[in-house]
Amino acid sequence: MPRPRIATASLAGCFGCHMSLLDLDEGILELAELVEFDRSPIDDYKEFQGRCTVGLVEGGCANEENVATIREFRRCCDVLVSVGDCATMGGIPAMRNLVPLDECLQEAYVDGPTVHNPGGLPPGDAEIPRMLDRVYALHEVVHIDWHLPGCPPSPEAFQAALTALLSGEPAALPPGLIRYD
Partner 1 sequence: MSTTRRVVIEPLTRVEGHGKVTIRLDSAGEVESARLHVVEFRGFERFIQGRPYWEMPVAVQRLCGICPVSHHLAAAKAMDGIVGVDELTPTAEKVRRLMHYGQIFQSHALHFFHLSSPDLLFGFDSDPATRNVIGVAGAFPELARQGILMRKYGQEVIQATAGKKVHGTGAIPGGVNRSLTSAERVELAADIPRQKRWAAEAVAIARDYTLENLAFATEFAAFPSNHLGLVRPDGTFDLYDGVLRAVDESGEKILNDVEAGRYADVLVEEVRPWSYMKFPFLRELGPHKGWYRVGPLARLAVCERIATPEAEAARVQFDEAMGGRPGTMSLAYHWARMIETLSAIEEIEQLLDDPDIEGDDLVRKGERRPESVGVIEAPRGTLFHHYVVADDDTVMRANLIVSTTSNNEPMNRAVESVAKKFLTGTEITEGLLNHVEVAIRAYDPCLSCATHALGKMPLVIEIQDAGGRTLAEGKRNS
Contacts of partner 1 in 109-138 (CB under 8 A): 109, 112-117, 119, 121-125, 127-134, 136
Candidate ranges 12-20, 157-165, 170-178; the one touching partner 1 (CB under 8 A): 12-20
Choice between 4 and 152, CB closer to partner 1: 152
Task: Single out the residue of 48, 63, 72, 173 in contact with partner 1 (rule: CB under 8 A).
Answer: 63
Q: How many CA atoms lie within 13 A of 44 on its CB side?
A: 0
How big is the site for partner 1, counted in residues (CB under 8 A)?
Answer: 74
- Does residue 30 interact with partner 1 by CB under 8 A? no
Site for partner 1 in 143-172 (CB under 8 A): 143, 151-152
Q: How far apart are CA 88 and CA 57, in angstroms?
A: 10
Burial 79-115 (b: 16+ CB within 10 A, else e): bbbbbbbbbbbbbebbeeeeeeeeeeeeeeeeeeeee
Candidate ranges 18-26, 156-164, 165-173; the one touching partner 1 (CB under 8 A): 18-26
Measuring CA to CA, which residue among 175, 172, 180 is closest to residue 149?
Answer: 180
- Does residue 178 interact with partner 1 by CB under 8 A? no
- Does residue 34 interact with partner 1 by CB under 8 A? no
What are the φ/ψ torsions at residue 82 (nearest 5 degrees)? -85, 125
Name the minimum Å distance from CB 55 to partner 1: 15
Q: Give residues with Cβ within 8 angstroms of 4, minimum separation 6.
A: 34, 35, 36, 52, 53, 54, 166
- Does residue 8 interact with partner 1 by CB under 8 A? no
- Does residue 45 interact with partner 1 by CB under 8 A? yes
